[in-house]
Chains A and B, each alone.
Chain A
Amino acid sequence: MTLASWKSGPVVQLGWTVSDELLCIQEDGSVLIYDLFGSFKRHFSMGQEVVQTQVLEAKVFHSPYGTGVAIVTGSSRFTLATNIDDLKLRRLPEVPGLQGKPSCWVVLTQDRQTKVLLSNGLDLYIVDNTSCTAVVPPGLSPQAGSVVHMSVSFSYKYLALFTDSGHLWTGTSNLFTCLSVCLPVCLCIYQPLYLSLCLTRCRRPKSQQPSVVLMWDRLLLVAGVCNDTIQFPLEDPCVLIGELDGVRIISSTNQELLQEVPLVCQDIFKIASMAPGALLLEAHREYEKLSQKADEYLREIKEQSMLGEAVKQCVEAAGHEYDTNTQKSLMRAASFGKCFLTDFSPDQFVSTCRELRVLNSVRESSVGLPLTHAQFKQMTVQVLIDRLVYRQFYPLAIEICRYLKIPDYQGVSRVLKHWASCKVQQKDLSDEAIARAVCVKVGDSPGVSYSDIAARAYECGRTELAIKLLDFEARSGEQVPLLLKMKRSQLALSKAVESGDTDLVYTVVSYLKNEMNRGDFFMTLRNQPVALSLYRQFCKLQEQETLKDLYNQDDDHQELANYYVTASYKEKRLESRLSLLQSAVDEYNKAKNEFAAKATEDEMRLLRFQRKLDDEKGAGLLGLSLQVGTGVVLVLKSLAEKEEWEELEKFSKSKKSPIGYLAFVEVCMKCNNKYEAKKYVSKVTPEQKVKAHLAVSDLEGAADAAIERRNEAEMGAVLSRCSASDRLVIDRLNRARAGAAKK
């Protein structure tokens, strides 16, 4: 228990979350969350407009989504948050005619929808996300007056309404069915303080019927659907809390649970009961007294073939009992009966034994969790362990996990995790001591993440401790995010590399890139080859320029040269391409890759040559893609230079030349082999015929071609090459030109 003086604003409502946190809803709409020990955890707000309008009333409710908060504001509007751990505020539609707060209201959860039921004067409304609908509970006459109290059952299945004229309406919470309307206390003119619904079993076994518990100043009244009432006087002022299977009555000094006696307990303990369970209990008592009556009772049960049933009853009843002696005698009786049965499954017996031991230990006043068996079943062991953990009963929680043989993952590990997160906050211990203590206790329990614990330590401002704890983390990947957060980026990088997860490495690298100056960044990468090559990959796709710097830094001339080659192909202009290729040549030379350097030089020469051909000859190569032309021309050149004329001819015949055959002619002539050159003249395209003939100095042929094509310019070109000795040719050409001009 902790006491704290309240320093914040006025609180409208207190409540507990499903994970045992205290919610304090303030008038201005802010909600503060504290843990069980009163330390502040976090806060959230129910919306900005509430600051102005103020919260008039608030309720904390539980839904399948978690813990929710509902408020009604000064402007008579409702706002809901169905799960405070995943906060989404929903403002409900306006309620017609509502001024201030309604006279009473509840939050209902039905079909995964959360609604508000409210009473305003004589009207009842249901408000959901989209609409506000007036409702009339079936069976409740208008004369009954206005509803002044309402209560919904733990399961949201049933609803009770109490009117100012003293009528009590009970029905299903969807308001479709009315179970009863009664005037329980006609005398009662003043309103009950509390109205609470609880489920009890009616006479018909297994069918659960609701009954309503009403409380006045000093009187508690239980009203069932059959118009029966039971009254209890009260000594102290109390508070009622509806639970799964009863109503808890809390006064300033003690707490009690009001619950209908479970049927099976009634059967066994009813006076003069002849139920098989009752007989078995009796038989065992006699047996302990060493009386032969034990045998008689047993025979009686066995004659009815009810021994199995009897054992079951005893086991079940034991589950519902609180007194350990009663539990024991019932279980002993069951065990005794079991001896006379051959194939009876012991499962229920064993599990009940275990559960009772657990329940008894948490019911101890030092622990203070007075759970019923049904509640325990509903909440599951996992939740019970959580509850113990929230209360910091770590040893007990671990004991229970081990006793119930819960897999470590869901059991012991979870407790240890919580323990460790709590331990790291202990201010009076040194980092060293805490780290050691955590390591000794947690060891390598599965499912305990040291990085989570370390994160907690970091949150509490203990960075050194966090780093120490991270060292214990086996999964290097898990260490990375926290290390980055703590600005231990170098360490983060090596851990990321260690994990083998390249995405993680990328993440750290991109983080480092933003954190560090370029020089340091590159230096860091240099020490981590894996990271470096990944970063190169990244740059290849995203930042070509950086790639160059990286290679430069590493003096990786070969890659640098390749880089320039790639870049050269992106250049459209010849000059820039050549200059990039020249850089490539330099780098290849530095890399001592003579072959590549020479090949690149050849490529450059070729580019220039091609350009020259284009410029000089006009047609030829310009339209062709460089790639196609390049190789062939080089081949031609080399063949001609080596005077491999046969090879050249073979080459010309092997395939249709992609650059035409003029190049063949030229290449031969360059090596002064007119004979070979003439072989290819006939193969050139008509457009190039004249040029080809001229190249081999065959003026007649050139003239013929030009005349045939009736091309004045070409004729002119031939004429210009003619000397005086070529009289015949000149005459022919002149005639042809004259003929062409006439037309």
Chain B
Amino acid sequence: MAAHLSYGRVNLNILREAARKELREFLDKCAGSKAIVWDEYLTGPFGLIAQYSLLKEHEVEKMFTLKSGRLPSADVKNIIFFVRPRLELMDIIAENVFRCHHSSRDFHILFVPRRSMLCEQRLKEQGVLGSFINIDEYILDLIPYDGDLLSMEYESAFRECYLENDQTSLYHTAKGLMTLQALYGTIPQIYGKGDCARHVANMMLRMKREFAGTQNQILPVFDTLLLLDRNVDLLTPLATQLTYEGLIDEIYGINNGYVKLPPEKFAQKKQGEASKDLPTEPKKLQLNSAEELYAEIRDKNFNAVGAALSKKAKIISAAFEERHNAKTVGEIKQFVSQLPHMQAARSSLANHTSIAELIKDITTSEAFFDNLTVEQEFMTGVDTDKVNTYIEDCIAQKDPLIKILRLVCMQSVCNNGLKQKVLDYYKREILQTYGYEHILTLNNLEKGGLLKPQTSSRNNYPTIRKTLKLWMEDANEQNPNDISYVYSGYAPLSIRLTQVLARPGWRSIEEVLKMLPGPHFEERQQLPSGLHKKRQQGENRTTLVFFLGGVTYAEIAALRFLSQMEDSGMEYIIATTKLVNGTTWIKSLMDRIPPSCF
């Protein structure tokens, strides 16, 4: 079920198994039949750790969503609340417990990822703390997403860190990294760039000191940890991702490894049956490297996906044709034994062909093309200091606000801030068209540095672009030779930093690093003697890159590309607070005020 987690260089299944074990132990603590009441936000991430079957094995008979009022009736001994430690949820729990009249029920709380004294205090004030037999924490910081990908699924991390100065997510990050080190060994080298990165590294070093004396005796799996603040590279998430997976996420949104697609293209057309009853439920597909074809094409530039699919189609039909060549019973038997695998491959191919068609409809549209052209103009530094007519038109046509914000922010970032006049113009246009209430969102974007007035006369973006080679004129989409293929020309800044760190090292780009926000640093963690790796010749080093504040699928694709490059000598494992794209990221920064009516 989770075999794909163990394919990679680092067996992330160990982490998953550790998490599952802990879950089982907790469930067994509550003897008897159980019902779980879920904080809805947690169901997605939990799905990556344990399916319902595991819960069922441990006598979980019912599952409910946490909501105020009375608990639905269930004939079970235990009611377990799986919740994040948030005060508003405590109030709901208190109400649930208060209005439950079964005296023989046992209540339990499992806090994810950490217990909170504040919440327990709240339960106490509400007079229900004593009703709980077990109050426990389930330390689930980093959730294994794929063979090389970990995410905390902490949606508000960027907003909390940069807008609200709330570093809770960073504390969880540090804790998560400590757990990771407990399982995979102390990471000897830590690099970082940005204020949050510095803070996390400080906490990690402090936590290590606190456990002084208990030496970790596991041979380190990771050689290096690179902590990157999202605000070091605000540009990348704003750009439209052009890899296959990136586009799926941009257009349909991937949630906890699942995507929901419009059903029309997936209608099962059986022979002799009119396809008149189209399915109305969206088609839900799981996307990860367990699916061979998907693993192959997910990180390709979308323009190279068509060719890959048709190549695959030929291979599969050739394989099916083999049956005509099967003469002997033995040959037929062999063919039959391969059938399930081939059928799976065929249905996977059909699915991805449909998805590619859906995406193609959009990428070939004029609107998509125009948008991309403007993005690329900004990234190459064309007319970033003037009001852009395309943006103006889009506002006039009342295109989705997020699209506008992405473009305006991008222009601001690529110009190291907009002239006051230009900025005010955009802001006024936006307020007048989309409503005055968005003034708060605009404030947020300014606070987060995505939108800002130009303070110094010098725009340093061109220097950064040139030094780090962020724009590659001749990006090869079909057979890439550089990471810039993921955005058809633009090489993500964050990944360039990662690449340069591996070779030739950050010392070569000191000047540029100084232009980017926050400090850059290097720390070493002492290993117990005997755990120093003796590296085989040609053996790759492993780096864990942690994006604080979110990472996009295109950036992940770029890192995977670097891992696969023959001469890179480096394998990358990716961790993040949350998988984002420009839309979800901007959304998390918006202040949505419920529309009021007189």
Contact = CB atoms under 8 A, between A and B. Distances in A.
A565 B440 contact: yes
Interface in B423-449: 424, 427-428, 431-437, 439-440, 443
Interface stretch (A268-276, A421-429, A443-451, A548-556): A443-451
Contact of A541 (B88, B439, B591): B88
Interface stretch (B66-74, B202-210, B237-245, B454-462): B202-210
Given A533-B164, A533-B166, A474 B593 contact: no
Contacts of A541: 87-88
B598 A446 contact: no
A655 B395 CA distance: 12
Contacts of B598: 572-574, 622, 626
A442 to B, nearest CB: 11
A499 B175 CA distance: 12
A503 B596 contact: no
A423 B439 CA distance: 63
A596 B443 contact: yes
A474 B439 contact: no
Contacts of A625: 595, 597
B30 to A, nearest CB: 17
A529 B166 CA distance: 10
Contacts of B211: 446
Interface stretch (A342-350, A367-375, A627-635): A627-635
B551 interface: no
Contacts of A6: none
A533 B160 CA distance: 10
A409 B435 CA distance: 63
B433 A635 contact: yes
Contacts of B214: 409, 446-447
Given A409-B214, A500-B170, A502-B171, A529 B165 contact: yes
A566 B440 contact: yes
A658 B440 CA distance: 24
Contacts of A655: 397-398
Interface stretch (A54-62, A504-512, A730-738): A504-512
B87 A651 contact: no
B216 to A, nearest CB: 12
Interface string A656-688: 000000000000000000000000000000000
A562 interface: yes
A654 B117 CA distance: 56
B436 A507 contact: no
Contacts of A630: 432, 435-436
Interface in A503-526: 503-504, 506-507, 510
A500 B171 contact: yes
A537 interface: yes
Nearest to B435: A627
Interface in B83-137: 85, 87-88, 114-118, 121
A622 B598 CA distance: 8
Given A534-B166, A566-B440, A635-B433, A500 B397 contact: no
Of the candidates A510, A596, A599, A603, the one having the most CB atoms from chain B within 10 angstroms of its own CB is A599
A558 B443 contact: yes
A634 B432 CA distance: 6
Contacts of A627: 434-437, 595
Contacts of B87: 538, 541-542
B212 interface: yes
A501 B171 contact: yes
A569 interface: yes
B439 A537 contact: no
A655 B399 CA distance: 11
Interface string B57-68: 000000000000
A638 interface: yes
A700 B88 CA distance: 63
Q: How large is the interface on A (under 10, 10 to 19, 20 to 34, 35 or more residues)?
A: 35 or more
Contacts of A606: 436
Contact of A408 (B164, B171, B213, B396): B213
B37 to A, nearest CB: 21
B199 interface: yes
A603 B213 contact: no
Interface in A531-583: 533-534, 536-538, 541-542, 558, 562, 565-566, 569-574
A541 B398 CA distance: 32
A503 B114 contact: yes
Contact of B167 (A504, A530, A542): A530
A503 B85 contact: yes
A595 interface: yes
Contact of A537 (B116, B166, B443): B166
Contacts of B400: none
A503 B431 contact: no
B504 interface: no
B365 interface: no
Contacts of A570: 596
B479 interface: no
B133 to A, nearest CB: 13
A504 B117 contact: yes
Contacts of A635: 432-433
Contact of B439 (A510, A530, A565, A572): A565
Interface in A154-194: none
Nearest to A444: B212
Interface in B500-527: none
A500 B167 contact: yes
Interface in B142-197: 160, 164-168, 170-171, 174
Contacts of B160: 537
A50 B85 CA distance: 44
Contact of B593 (A445, A502, A533, A566): A566
A600 interface: yes
Given A569-B593, A572-B596, A447 B118 contact: no
Contacts of B437: 565, 569, 627
A447 B440 contact: no
A469 B72 CA distance: 51
A722 B407 CA distance: 54
Contacts of A537: 160, 164, 166
A606 B594 CA distance: 19
A503 B117 contact: yes
Contacts of B167: 500, 502, 530
B213 A447 contact: yes
Contacts of B164: 533, 536-537
A520 B556 CA distance: 49
Nearest to A443: B213
A504 B120 CA distance: 12
A404 B121 CA distance: 45
Interface of B: 85, 87-88, 114-118, 121, 160, 164-168, 170-171, 174, 199, 202-203, 206, 209-214, 396-398, 424, 427-428, 431-437, 439-440, 443, 591, 593-598
Interface of A: 408-409, 444-447, 474-475, 499-504, 506-507, 510, 529-530, 533-534, 536-538, 541-542, 558, 562, 565-566, 569-574, 595-596, 599-600, 602-603, 606, 622, 625-628, 630-632, 634-635, 638, 650-651, 654-655
22 contacts: A446-B211, A499-B206, A500-B167, A500-B171, A506-B118, A507-B117, A510-B118, A529-B165, A541-B87, A541-B88, A565-B439, A569-B596, A572-B596, A596-B439, A622-B598, A626-B596, A626-B598, A627-B595, A630-B436, A631-B435, A634-B432, A654-B397
Given A474-B210, A537-B166, A638-B432, 13 more contacts: A409-B213, A445-B213, A500-B167, A501-B171, A510-B121, A533-B165, A534-B166, A565-B437, A566-B593, A569-B437, A571-B596, A573-B598, A631-B433
In the complex, the 3 A-B pairs of residues with the closest C-beta atoms, listed nearest first: A446-B213, A533-B165, A627-B435
